Copies of this chain bind each other. A is one copy, B any other.
Amino acid sequence: MNNVTLKQLAEKLNLSTSTVSRALRDSHEIGQETKDRVKALAKKLKFQPNPHASSLRQHKSNTIAVLIPEIENTFFSQVINGVELVAQSKGYHVLIYLTHEDYNKETEILRLLKNGRADGVMISVSNTTKNTKHLQSFQKDGIPLVLFDRTCDELNAPKVMTDDIEIAMIATEKLINSGCKRIAFISMSANLSISKRRVKGYRQALQKYDLQKNAVIIECGGNDAENKKKISKIFKSSTPPDGIFTATEKLAVITYEVCRENEIKLPRTFKMVSFSNLPAAALFHPPLSTIIQPAFEIGKEAASILFKLIEKKTLLPTEKRVIIPSQLVERN
């Protein structure tokens, strides 16, 4: 970089660096005339304060970090859009970290973030995260932490999510009301709080219609090929499902692929609904009914709460656990 430094500025003005620094920060200890001279030359030479020096002095980095399991997922892209909007308005920079559904990577990234690189952290945990030790250890260092979407119930930190239980119940009920009696729920890893919430809503609907005995829950992991095998199996059962409810967009796409490969016709053979924020879901054949999560709003809200913590403001009780409703879009 050819940037002029504070020291060079001071030399040219025949002032001390501390005077120049204070003049630029508009300190009351410096006279107006000196301030004007310093600012004029700083502008002329395009002086920009070194962010690392500013961070050291102010004990802040003007940066937040977002940890997500993956980025090739409409939901998380939309969340980042919301986060970025808030961060830009605050003059903050956004570090993105992908955990690739790996608990060890998640732990390592949080460990590196303890040293002040970010003023606050937002996380949606990986599906291999079975405990919160690493999050608790991170919190001990006093850096603000907000959980979103894939939250951990047991952790004392603000959480922003959608109404997973209610919307899963509504979607299951819709399938039942359209004639389905054997609805399979294709779920993410069972150790995620979010999976438990969605399964709960599914079970509540079955119970309401006395269909609990027909419950089929397929737990899928991170490996697409294995997930495909698991999903294929249910269609080969002697009592195949007449309704499918998938917990993620990816699992819906895999189910469509399984059907195509096995020449199973949707929705004559069965009906399907999925959590998905893919705008193109309407173009699928047949169109997929989707639960659209307020991803952008979740990102915006989680970031706003994070900034309240960074600015040491007190959270409202309602800001400790925020639930933003999803929307069921029925198609075909």
Known: A80-B96, A95-B95, A280-B284. A140 touches B2 (CB 8 A): yes
> Counting CB contacts under 8 A, is A51 at the interface?
yes
User: Is the Cβ of A48 less than 8 Å from the Cβ of B115?
Assistant: yes
List, in ascending order, chain B residues with CB within 8 A of A245's CB: none
Interface pick from A10-18, A71-79, A188-196: A71-79
CB-defined contacts of A283 to chain B, threshold 8 Å: 253, 256-257, 260, 283-285
Residue ID in chain B nearest A250 by CB atoms? B279
Check if A98 sits within 8 Å of B114, measured CB to CB.
Answer: no
In whole angstroms, how far apart are the Cα atoms of A282 and B81 in the complex?
Answer: 27
Interface status of A325 (Cβ within 8 A of chain B): no
Q: For A52, list chain B residues within 8 Å (CB).
A: 51-53, 55-56, 61, 116
Task: Check A93 for interface membership: any CB of B closer than 8 A.
Answer: yes
Residue pair A117, B93 in contact (C-beta under 8 Å)? yes
Bitwise interface map of A from 232 to 266 toward B, beta carbon under 8 Å scored 1, else 0? 00000000000000000000010011001000000
| A217 proximal to B (CB < 8 A) | no
Number of this chain's copies in the assembly equals: 2
Say yes or no: is A136 at the interface (Cβ < 8 Å to chain B): no
Interchain CB contact under 8 A, B2 and A142: yes
- Chain B nearest Cβ from A109, distance in angstroms: 9
Contacts of A256 in B (CB 8 A): 280, 283
A56 to chain B, nearest CB (A): 5
CA distance A116 to B141 in the complex (A): 27
**Residue interface bits A107-147, CB-to-B below 8 A is 1, else 0:** 00000001111000000000000000000000011110000
Residues of B within 8 A of A141 (CB): 1-3
Interface residues of A (CB under 8 A from B): 1-3, 48-53, 55-56, 61, 63, 71-74, 77-78, 80-81, 84, 93-98, 114-117, 140-143, 253, 256-257, 260, 278-287
| 6 A–B contacts from the bound complex (CB under 8 Å) | A51-B52, A51-B116, A52-B56, A71-B84, A72-B81, A93-B97
